[in-house]
Amino acid sequence: METVVIGASGYAGGELLRLIDSHPKLNFKSAIAHSKANTAIALEHPFLIGKYDQNFEEFNAQNIQTTDLVFIALPHGESAGLVSQLKPGTKIVDLGADFRLKDPDQWSKYYSGEYAGSWTYGLPEIEGNKEKISNSNQVANPGCYATAIALAFAPLIKHDVIDLNYLTVVAASGTTGAGKKPQQSILASEVMGSLSNYKLNGSHQHIPEIEQTLTQINNKDVVLSFNPILAPMPRGILANCISKIKNGISKNEIVDIFNKYYKGQPFVQVKQDANLQTSSVLNTNNCLLQISVDENTNQITVVSVIDNLIKGASGQAIQNANLMCGWDQTIGLVD
């Protein structure tokens, strides 16, 4: 299937190119990156030396009218204008935020620019989503934090075993989550050897996306307190997802709930035998979960780890594209 990546010079774009190169059913056509047009792909992404000898190209809608599949990996607010120029029926996975939210007011609160509407939400492991994705030509790829956090809470909400008025998350992410645009706060000399909070007080843009996803599970309102941390590492997310347990349910029963909810899901597993680390999922499309119960406070903590550039972005985009094309969702994502 002929494939184009728009926004290919960024971190997520580079990972998409790497995954497309090894995908048995995707045929690379072009990598579009306006600011890097005519620059060699491998110059921007050295890990692709020997795999791509092409240059980045400028966006030209006419040049991709025959393209079957388009990945868009642009900053928020930039996808909608491009989508309208693509051939009707083109399969599109948007890694940006433009089409994730159903509520225009939530878009206005957390983002800037005009609200563009909503597409099928591409988190396949949430019950019912896989079928919706498989029947869609336009899919909104979830945010990285949203993926890790929604997968941690979903089984608990489905089985009504936690207090929906008490959902708290403390999560750390690597610097690639901030993108490639130069910023003093993510310079190596600022980040190395130090942790820092950011976007506190309910201001992180993934909050409405997470609340929307979790609310739809049982059609009950969910309110999330989210405290993100910038960690001195390039990639990875570790999220501690905390709530109060209802009805005195045991940890073993909760583990069983998780195992049943994610049965048959190739990329989500519960691991109770070792402390999870971001290195546990590095360069994979996996989300690993671990459940801890504090009997003193009747609190549950679900630890969720993902690679923010793979399951949190490009790997999940490939997973969604596989489903949209009627293929096994693991193609190109497992050895």
- CA–CA separation, 231 vs 233, rounded Å? 6
- CA–CA separation, 191 vs 166, rounded Å? 31
- CA–CA separation, 96 vs 301, rounded Å? 29
Catalytic residue among 144, 241, 287, 325: 144
- CA–CA separation, 18 vs 134, rounded Å? 24
Q: Which residues contact 107 (CB under 8 A, 6 or more apart)?
A: 101, 115, 208
Per the listing, tokens 């909104």 go with 140
- CA–CA separation, 311 vs 323, rounded Å? 15
Residue 221 · residue 215 · CB < 8 Å: yes
Amino acid at 328: D
Residue 70 · residue 85 · CB < 8 Å: no
Active-site annotation holds for 144: yes
Residue 204 · residue 227 · CB < 8 Å: no
- CA–CA separation, 140 vs 101, rounded Å? 9
Per the listing, tokens 């399951």 go with 311
Burial of 34 (0-12, 13-18, 19+ CB in 10 A): middle
Residue 99, token pair as written in the block: 């089409």
**3-class secondary-structure state, position 149:** helix
- CA–CA separation, 136 vs 149, rounded Å? 24
Residue 84, token pair as written in the block: 């309208």
Query: Among all residues, which ones are annotated catalytic?
Result: 144
